[in-house]
Structure 1
């Protein structure tokens, strides 16, 4: 790096951090998750406004590869924190209602998304038609567990039966959606000359679950009152990065390895350590690295030439995304005799997509499943479906603190109440 690149990088990072923070705070004051403002900050710094003049001035081509590298670290840490907060106990104790709602809220939008892909194929399709259809189905099926948890926390609903059920459904949704995405990446995203590596996925998963996880549990059990020392923190960081590197190398995406390493860390006896890890990683990640990811994502969003045909495609995408998720979740909830308003509230929460959707869309863009034009429209869909959740909830069940379903139901302490850095 020369002096000009270094100066451009540092100034660009300062602008990213401050603008993301300001728009994030503004979004919170307007009753929206901070991620809405931060995504809009990334789009504002991209080529959509002023014909890309801001982009060229602040982020010349010479530093974009550096920004992309920082965004990779940010997403890896984010996925690790999501895995760290994910709790399989919610699935085991959620009963048939959560299972059926999760299944239908995946199957219905997935099917509609695949049908929509057939319609969009001529204008937006990729060379691999099958991968395009499968990816569109997955993109329509996403529910953002961290953003949903944040909304429930803000509305003081995490200990209500509706809140606990929503978290359980979103947790199951996460597992199903990531599994589907991993399958599509494994089938269509690997380099043809190195597809043999995908066969190593199963041994890797078995090693993580049957060897690494028990070893970590023994390590924790032998050290009552374990605290986060600099050495333990360094080993945790190394494990997260190596696990992410392993899944990237075998032909999956690095996000899966980062998530898995967080998910296998022991929960019992590590409460204090987990909180400290999240505090140390989460604050820096949420303040610097994730805003860089939003910028990198925003650099690929160009709505400046959106025409009538593009608006029509966007309308269809929104209709399928919102309608498919809502119809699937609402129908399953009603079939399980959940009251109408609670069913509608649950279906609304399942429509929250947030940062999780952006990560999935970036995977699709990187692997060539979708092009930049469709990516831009899908980012708009992610923002709209996340922004509408709060107002719709207020319309359906009333403002925060006046929800109809306020009786505690179980415990949501392990549901993740994800910190601000985890969005």
Structure 2
């Protein structure tokens, strides 16, 4: 619950929203701490309430209610009707801390999802996963090719002077992108995490996201950010994945043997694992 809600809230909170009286320099470490824990409490309570209502009356997974809770707490509702109260609870200087908490939560959750991934299911469903993933990429880009010429005529939607090819790539990537942590939550909540269907969905969603983010990196490069953006995103991602696939098991095998030998995960092994996660 927490990781999805914080990530959603950190995105919907507009850093250019109502003017804040306070600045980052006027906040002490205690102020940041108090606001952070208050924000977490409000986020968790709101997510639990909205999630339960969504499950009961709409038949939706808990995570869908958490996404809605993020919108409720952001500028769309809370900030629109109670701007001063929202600015007091979520002042501008604290949003970077909240964002960091969001990244930690999402990262830890996806790390745990990875521990439930059944590699034998993945290997047996690899061809199916690639087929599903390709369909999830091709169809959005076909839709983008069809829609973009018309969307370019809408004033203010795209930057003036943007080429149709760049706009098409951007639209296709945006449509193809999957809310991967949300997909993983739904699969886990439905009890599909260790099934072949769940593994197939996660594999296809991961591949879709990887391709879409690579396309977005290319689009950013063409927009003037320079080729370094695309090289770092695509080349760096491939190098990291290759390193983990080739050497990951060998590097962490001693930790596994320590746990098997001791019959439990010691604080030393836990510390090394968390440190490796943070470096990743």
Tell me whether the two structures share a fold, i.e. TM-score over 0.5: yes
Give the alignment of 1:235-384 within 5 angstroms.
235-243=272-280
Distance between the aligned counterparts of 1:234 and 1:105, measured in 2? 38
| 1:227 and 2:264 aligned | yes
Q: Does 1:67 align with 2:98?
A: yes
Aligned length: 236
1:94–1:165 Cα contact (<8 Å) kept: yes
**1:113, 1:133 within 8 Å by CA — same for their partners in 2?**
yes
- 2:161 matched to 1:124? no
Q: Return the offset for 1:218.
A: 5.0
Does structure 2 conserve the Cα–Cα contact (< 8 Å) formed by 1:113 and 1:136? yes
Task: Give the Å deviation of 1:222.
Answer: 6.5
Q: Aligned to 1:224, what secondary structure does the other structure show?
A: helix
Instruction: Give the C-alpha shift of residue 186 in structure 1.
Output: 4.1
The answer to which structure, 1 or 2, has the higher relative contact order (CA under 8 A, 6+ apart) is 1
Q: Is the 8 Å Cα contact of residues 32 and 94 (structure 2) preserved in structure 1?
A: yes
The verdict on how the C-alpha distance between 1:148 and 1:200 changes in structure 2, with shifts beyond 3 A counting, is closer
Write the distance in 1 (CA, Å) between the matches of 2:258 and 2:35.
Answer: 49
1:209 corresponds to which residue?
A: 245
- 1:77-109 alpha-carbon deviations (Å, 9 max, x no partner): 233233333334223223765553443233223
Which of 201, 211, 216 is equivalent to 1:170? 201
* 8 Å Cα contact 2:129/2:204 also seen in 1: no
Q: Is 1:134 the equivalent of 2:165? A: no
Task: Check 1:230–1:101 CA distance in 2 against 1; reply closer, same or farther (3 A cut).
Answer: same
Cα drift, residue 34 of structure 1: 0.9
1:17 matched residue in structure 2 = 44
In structure 2, C-alpha distance between the alignment counterparts of 1:227 and 1:188, rounded to whole Å: 47
Which consecutive unaligned segments of at least 5 residues does structure 1 have? 244-423
The whole-number CA distance in structure 2 between the counterparts of 1:132 and 1:32 is 33
Distance in structure 1 (CA, Å) of the matches to 2:119 and 2:48 = 33
- Equivalent residue runs for 1:134-213 within 5 Å: 134-141=169-176, 142=178, 144=180, 145-150=183-188, 152-153=190-191, 158=192, 164=195, 166-189=197-220, 192=226, 194-195=228-229, 197=232, 199-213=235-249
CA separation of 1:140 and 1:97: change in aligned 2, threshold 3 A: same
Quick check: 1:87 aligned with 2:115? no
Q: What TM-score, normalized to structure 1?
A: 0.47
Q: In structure 2, what is the Cα distance between the partners aligned to 1:126 and 1:95?
A: 40
